[in-house]
Homo-oligomer: A and B are copies of this chain.
């Protein structure tokens, strides 16, 4: 008991060094102070700031956020005065000496190099934008965006070079945010993306649904187009971007938003275990392979909550959680990190795109690695609020769930208002191990302006439950072509006339009961409507009459998305 007290006292009096002062690092330091008043806590950051809002940078460039100081969540002074934490900015940690429990720090202002001893060390070194080794990638006018100084360089370039045309390489969330903000500033943007669709983290048939929105806002899309080189134009005033297919785009500025890479050099050189994805390996208390060293944020690999596999998730929310957990562990508390769900959102123009859990693409890659999770998916297109109230808009939802127990695996949603609300609800459901039956029964807010008596989340659960309970087994367009089934479209003839799937025959639901004996009982029937609701009703009629039929999930809306993808 005496010894324990002694140990506790020792824990309290630790010297804790934190490398990196944004998100995870800052959270860790602040939490550490709340656990011990006696500890010495020092935060080092290579840049001129700590704890800045890097998710705000695109909006700072777009002049939505007008003051640089608004991006500063906390200053070294605040850390000192309120938390008694020392922050050393412009201080690059160059090495870790594990045997001495020391770090080697270079003061970037003075050039002085010194050593600092630690009892516990926290690495929150974050990530760096990917900058592929392509010819010309370092030319003037080609930027990445990670820090406030990065954003200032971009702002200056836009003003001084009177940028009219920009190329954004990479159509992920940050690329889209940059696109919106450059457009806002009157710059004409072309997105160049290797894949045939934007948002690589989304499944293609979902992501493709935002292309029209981008085009309608004057954005040019150059898809399925890996970049192979950059050069200056002959008169040296422009940048040329070359794609694999030989396309050449001329612009005044290039922004590379091709993802990020864990900044794990320090850890690697110190001999800490690094994962296959290049991030630092930690246990569920954020401890690295060295018992005195912890790591948090973009620099680490984390467990995917849904698949159980290692993944990278450069997200601010989990980084903050990890920071607090590391501090808890350092001071002897036992909280554990439960993994990440990769919940993410992006607003672009008046569209919101959000997802949580895993995509179908991730499930397929897991299966290739031998981690096979049996799943099914549904598509639906509910309204964001009661359709009898003005200005209801459609949300396209893809829900992925386990066919073993109905557990929700992931969801993607695209639309206007109310998109991220549904994803947040499903995120909470996934966290709690909920099934599609739980979504069916969710009791959510309903007023005509904000929801429906059967909310989009309920509908997603119902459609999925209908499959699991075999009330309406589903089929997807990409499987139908391989079968010999009848494709029965139950929309009204005037809708059918505006477009329909190949081979489809049209019997509106209203006439189905009368026409039922005309249908071939020996053949499988795949039933379609505009979005999968009336076809579900039709499926019930057919199944109760002994037909072998399947509902085509997402109906003709899903068909159009797939066609658009084919034509990309």
**Of A228-236, A281-289, A416-424, the one with at least 4 CB within 8 A of chain B:** A416-424
> How long is the Cα–Cα vector from A449 to B540 in the complex, in angstroms?
43
Residues of chain B lying within 8 A (CB to CB) of residue A64: 389-390
Which of B33, B389, B445, B540 is in CB contact (< 8 Å) with A59?
B389
Q: Is the CB of B73 within 8 A of A388?
A: yes
**Of A100-108, A116-124, A269-277, A335-343, the one with at least 4 CB within 8 A of chain B:** A335-343
**Of A13-21, A206-214, A431-439, the one with at least 4 CB within 8 A of chain B:** A431-439
Residues of chain B lying within 8 A (CB to CB) of residue A65: 388-390, 448
In the assembled complex, the CB of A468 is this many whole angstroms from the nearest CB of chain B, namely: 13
Which of B83, B341, B509 is in CB contact (< 8 Å) with A443?
B341
Q: Is the CB of A82 within 8 A of B544?
A: no
> How long is the Cα–Cα vector from A133 to B399 in the complex, in angstroms?
52
Q: Is the CB of A318 within 8 A of B544?
A: no
Task: Tell whether A132 is near chain B: CB-to-CB under 8 Å.
Answer: no
Q: Is the CB of B545 within 8 A of A55?
A: no
Residues of chain B lying within 8 A (CB to CB) of residue A342: 443
Q: Is the CB of B388 within 8 A of A345?
A: no
Q: Is the CB of B513 within 8 A of A84?
A: yes
Residue of A53, A319, A545 contacting most chain B CB atoms (<10 Å): A53
Residues of chain B lying within 8 A (CB to CB) of residue A36: 544
Q: Is the CB of B431 within 8 A of A443?
A: yes
Give the residues from 451 to 499 in chain A that come closer than 8 angstroms, CB to CB, to chain B: 451, 453-455, 457-458, 471
**Of A154-162, A219-227, A246-254, A346-354, the one with at least 4 CB within 8 A of chain B:** A346-354
Task: Tell whether A446 is near chain B: CB-to-CB under 8 Å.
Answer: yes
**Contact A450/B56 with A84-B513, A388-B70, A424-B424 known, Cβ cut-off 8 Å:** no
Task: Tell whether A316 is near chain B: CB-to-CB under 8 Å.
Answer: yes
Task: Tell whether A91 is near chain B: CB-to-CB under 8 Å.
Answer: no
> How long is the Cα–Cα vector from A513 to B37 in the complex, in angstroms?
9
A68-85 vs B: 1/0 string, CB under 8 Å? 001101000000011110
In the assembled complex, the CB of A495 is this many whole angstroms from the nearest CB of chain B, namely: 14
A22-56 vs B: 1/0 string, CB under 8 Å? 01000000000111111000000000000001011
Which of B427, B458, B534 is in CB contact (< 8 Å) with A444?
B427
In the assembled complex, the CB of A127 is this many whole angstroms from the nearest CB of chain B, namely: 16
A396-428 vs B: 1/0 string, CB under 8 Å? 000000000000000000000000110111011
Task: Tell whether A344 is near chain B: CB-to-CB under 8 Å.
Answer: yes
Task: Tell whether A97 is near chain B: CB-to-CB under 8 Å.
Answer: no
Task: Tell whether A153 is near chain B: CB-to-CB under 8 Å.
Answer: no
Residues of chain B lying within 8 A (CB to CB) of residue A346: 447
> How long is the Cα–Cα vector from A64 to B385 in the complex, in angstroms?
14
Q: Is the CB of B343 within 8 A of A445?
A: yes
Q: Is the CB of B445 within 8 A of A537?
A: no
Q: Is the CB of B389 within 8 A of A356?
A: no
Task: Tell whether A95 is near chain B: CB-to-CB under 8 Å.
Answer: no
Task: Tell whether A541 is near chain B: CB-to-CB under 8 Å.
Answer: yes
Residues of chain B lying within 8 A (CB to CB) of residue A352: 450
Q: Is the CB of A447 within 8 A of B540?
A: no
Residues of chain B lying within 8 A (CB to CB) of residue A433: 432
Residues of chain B lying within 8 A (CB to CB) of residue A23: 453
Q: Is the CB of B432 within 8 A of A82?
A: no
Which of B440, B445, B449 is in CB contact (< 8 Å) with A344?
B445
Task: Tell whether A441 is near chain B: CB-to-CB under 8 Å.
Answer: yes
- Copies, count: 2
Task: Tell whether A244 is near chain B: CB-to-CB under 8 Å.
Answer: no
Nearest to A60 among chain B residues (CB) is B388
Task: Tell whether A374 is near chain B: CB-to-CB under 8 Å.
Answer: no
Q: Is the CB of B451 within 8 A of A71?
A: no
**Contact A420/B451 with A37-B544, A444-B343 known, Cβ cut-off 8 Å:** yes
Which of B82, B319, B390, B450 is in CB contact (< 8 Å) with A510?
B82
Q: Is the CB of B510 within 8 A of A443?
A: no
Residues of chain B lying within 8 A (CB to CB) of residue A218: none
Q: Is the CB of B445 within 8 A of A423?
A: yes
Nearest to A469 among chain B residues (CB) is B333
Residues of chain B lying within 8 A (CB to CB) of residue A33: 540
Residue of A389, A441, A541 contacting most chain B CB atoms (<10 Å): A441
**Contact A438/B444 with A317-B455, A388-B65, A545-B37 known, Cβ cut-off 8 Å:** no
Task: Tell whether A501 is near chain B: CB-to-CB under 8 Å.
Answer: no
Task: Tell whether A307 is near chain B: CB-to-CB under 8 Å.
Answer: no
Which of B70, B345, B448, B450 is in CB contact (< 8 Å) with A53?
B448
Task: Tell whether A293 is near chain B: CB-to-CB under 8 Å.
Answer: no
> How long is the Cα–Cα vector from A428 to B513 in the complex, in angstroms?
39
Q: Is the CB of A81 within 8 A of B510?
A: yes
Residues of chain B lying within 8 A (CB to CB) of residue A316: 446, 453
> How long is the Cα–Cα vector from A451 to B345 in the complex, in angstroms?
9
> How long is the Cα–Cα vector from A291 to B317 in the complex, in angstroms?
52
In the assembled complex, the CB of A393 is this many whole angstroms from the nearest CB of chain B, namely: 16
Nearest to A36 among chain B residues (CB) is B544
Task: Tell whether A267 is near chain B: CB-to-CB under 8 Å.
Answer: no
Residues of chain B lying within 8 A (CB to CB) of residue A81: 510
Residues of chain B lying within 8 A (CB to CB) of residue A442: 427-428, 431
CB-based closest 10 A-B pairs: A432-B432, A345-B445, A316-B453, A420-B445, A37-B544, A421-B421, A34-B540, A81-B510, A428-B428, A343-B443
Please list 10 pairs of residues, one from A and one from B, whose beta carbons are closer than 8 Å in the complex, sorted by A's number. A37-B544, A53-B388, A65-B390, A177-B447, A316-B446, A317-B454, A342-B443, A427-B442, A427-B443, A428-B434
